[in-house]
Structure 1
């Protein structure tokens, strides 16, 4: 694999960091488009993106340290400040919490912002997985004889202590997968699935607008705020739950990994949310206030 792409003077450009940057830039652009379509203040997109980056990385790192607490105790500084070692669900949960607080302060319903971020989240996660694949950082799958099995040579393999109790410890007691062993390229699987999820969500996002076509008596109300985000939770939880069966993560309970248990929780949140919306179709949609125009902008318009 290619954990290091090239160097610019004393600086090294890492494949994972580069793809993470591309993921955030893409998500920011998509979010800006959605914020504008929903007639919200365009500045929200920048502020939400910054919150997502900061709290997403912090949350992802914290959950990774919790998952690998023994390794963290052995090398706290190295584990805490390593460029890799990010767990998606930790970042997702903490970023959602931060954006929820932000939405309350801005007096905008959280679900409105959640709907706007859903497609961007799906695609950004998939792009980030390409970074994992290029770095070969331990997110690969179990051995396979399929033609597309991948040898993760030169990858950055985590310390063996992080794999205690996992499938890799059973198959490779030394903790490092041999270079000549083809493995399921699970990051590629996730990227492809996330592109499909993004495409579906991007097509569904305009369902929040009322359908006033002539062949529908009285028209049809748009989707309730939050429905698209609940669908995102369903898709992303099913995706991760399924792919985990091909990955090397430790099994915690009922032969399921931690990511699968979190996926089950998110799946039920999505189901409960959709059921609630189905039973409360008369919920009022958020109407954004007019965007304030600065005096400077007004002056330019009068010239």
Structure 2
């Protein structure tokens, strides 16, 4: 396979990464609307819309803020509007979106979870989006460090690397399956599904970053890993009181 993968269009071409990213938003949203139609939602449509706007604003800012700090030495020498818009990360988007949601819900007086219904649509969107990242090859910057493992992939520079974007796709599919299997036997408490979703991904990213060519501080961690640790500490109760994640048997 030749990377990056593009769709020929006359004398030009369309990056598959762009197509997958667009599809991820579309399919994720369609899946969410399907679930909302078939689920009793304790949050009104008006409040849902406002919360969604808060989440989008927080995700946009969080994604780009963490993205520009990924490589501190380049920050001040390259920083401009294009640098800000061109650097983004899912971890920052998730935690920024979380902050945006919590602030919005506090203003609205909403106390029930707004994230549980978003878990499966988000997983679907992540799988489709990361497929695009994989097909983009080196251009996307989500590949891993050099590796001699049998499944290591040459993304076009002659170096066989960890396909960390494929690792993430496998992670999301396994998480999806695990949540579905758990829900066959137990009922998640309000907000528990989203907490497990967030904590699982933060732990995964904390670990997988060790095999990515990131900028690491002298103490051995990258900016994304520090952000992941901050998010994990925010959800510390998930580890201490895991029994509270469930209400009863299904």
* Normalised-by-shorter TM-score class: 0.7 to 0.9
Check if 1:145 corresponds to 2:148: yes
Is residue 22–residue 127 contact of structure 1 (8 Å, CA) maintained in 2?
A: yes
Give the corresponding residue for 1:94: 96
Is residue 204–residue 228 contact of structure 1 (8 Å, CA) maintained in 2?
A: no
Larger Rg: 1
- 5 Å-filtered alignment, 1:76-91, equals 76-82=80-86, 85-91=87-93
Structure 1, unaligned runs of 5 or more: 154-178, 209-221, 283-303
Structure 1 residues 144 and 67, CA gap change in structure 2 (3 angstroms):
closer
1:38 is displaced (CA, Å) by 3.1
Is residue 237–residue 263 contact of structure 1 (8 Å, CA) maintained in 2?
A: yes
Partner of residue 211 from structure 2, selected from 246, 249, 259: 246
Structure 2, unaligned runs of 5 or more: none
Partner of residue 57 from structure 1, selected from 57, 60, 69: 60
Q: TM-score, normalised by structure 1?
A: 0.66
DSSP-derived class of the 2:144 partner = coil
Q: TM-score, normalised by structure 2?
A: 0.78
- 5 Å-filtered alignment, 1:1-303, equals 1-2=3-4, 4-7=6-9, 13-36=14-37, 37-40=39-42, 41=44, 51-75=54-78, 76-82=80-86, 85-109=87-111, 112-136=113-137, 137-153=140-156, 179-204=157-182, 222-252=187-217, 254-273=219-238, 275-276=240-241, 278=243
1:23 is displaced (CA, Å) by 1.8
Distance across 1 between alignment mates of 2:73 and 2:213: 18
1:32 is displaced (CA, Å) by 2.5
Output the aligned Cα RMSD: 3.3
1:181 is displaced (CA, Å) by 1.0
- Structure with higher RCO (Cα < 8 A, 6+ apart): 2
Distance across 1 between alignment mates of 2:18 and 2:54: 18
In the alignment of these two chains, the number of paired residues is: 240
Distance across 2 between alignment mates of 1:138 and 1:197: 24
Structure 1 residues 98 and 7, CA gap change in structure 2 (3 angstroms):
farther
Bigger shift: 88-97 or 56-65? Answer: 56-65
